[in-house]
Amino acid sequence: MGDDLPPIFINLELVAGDAVKAVQRGDVIIVIDVLRCSSSIITALSNGAEGVIPIKTLQEARRRHRENPGSLLAGERRGLKPKGFDLGNSPLQFTPEKVKNRLIILTTTSGAKAISLAKNGRWVFIGALLNVEAVAKEALKIAERERHGISLLLAGKEGGFSLEDFICAGAAIENLPKEKVGLSDAALAAALAFQQARESLSGIIHQGSHAQYLKSIGLEEDIKFCSQMNVFLMVPVLKDGVIVPFGVLDGHRGVNLFS
């Protein structure tokens, strides 16, 4: 980026309901739901899933599943797999043996709804700690090319603030060159939070209210898995209502992201 160009501005929307602000600005959007929707989507696509359709309600998810024979019905309510579903919302369940070449219909309490609220954005990527470097760098490439800002949209917990999503937003910012970006106050706060948390990331995430709840229903291993950074190069993008690997748009499955 030339010296005469202004920096790319990084906005942070603390709750999913503010997705409309990001859409109206025309920002490149990264939807973040560390525990666990984003992490499950990233894992599923990394393990060969054809795509993921995010759905807000159980009724709609079941209808879309009936319309797509051979698809997998996945999701959660109160953290648990709904009756009759093939998979829950644990990334550890989205193994190659189960998801390879399969379309997944996914409904979750917070993450799927946040993605739906952002669906009219110019670009809507899915981010988590698992792919934070890859998704941040890809978003910046597009923002620089199209001269738009970046919005980090936190799915949160049932419409409220989420500690782990906030820290993940800070990790994304940490992967953006400081000379190329400008930060809102909220984005700066997230960056500072991540800097404080990075040496004991899993331990701090475990202290959050949603992590505590997941632990109480026996999902400790999910928290550990989702607390890892940069496990995958996968960058999921929402395209015509389906989340697919970003590389598919360029004729590959998204493994050569840093060129």
Tell me: cis bond preceding 77? Omega within 30 of 0 counts: no
Q: What is the pLDDT of residue 3?
A: 59
State pLDDT tens for residues 90-115. 999 999 999 999 999 999 999 999 99
State pLDDT tens for residues 30-50. 999 999 999 999 999 999 999
Is residue 255 scored above 90 in pLDDT? no
DSSP 79-107: TBPPTT-SB-S-GGG--HHHHTT-EEEEE
State pLDDT tens for residues 63-94. 999 999 899 999 999 999 999 999 999 999 99
Is residue 252 scored above 80 in pLDDT? no
**At 52, which helix (H) or strand (E)?**
strand 51-55
Q: What is the CATH number of domain 13-241?
A: 3.90.1560.10
Can you read off the two tokens belonging to residue 70? 């051979």
* Degrees to nearest 5, angle at CA 55 with 137 and 154: 40
Looking at residue 134, the DSSP 8-state letter turns out to be H
Annotated domain spans of the chain: 13-241
In degrees and rounded to multiples of 5, residue 123 shows phi and psi of -135, 130
Q: How far apart are CA 170 and CA 75, in angstroms?
A: 27
State pLDDT tens for residues 212-229. 999 999 999 999 999 999
pTM here is: 0.93
State pLDDT tens for residues 145-187. 999 999 999 998 877 899 999 999 999 999 999 999 999 999 9
Is residue 204 scored above 50 in pLDDT? yes
Confidence of residue 230 (pLDDT cuts 50, 70, 90): very high
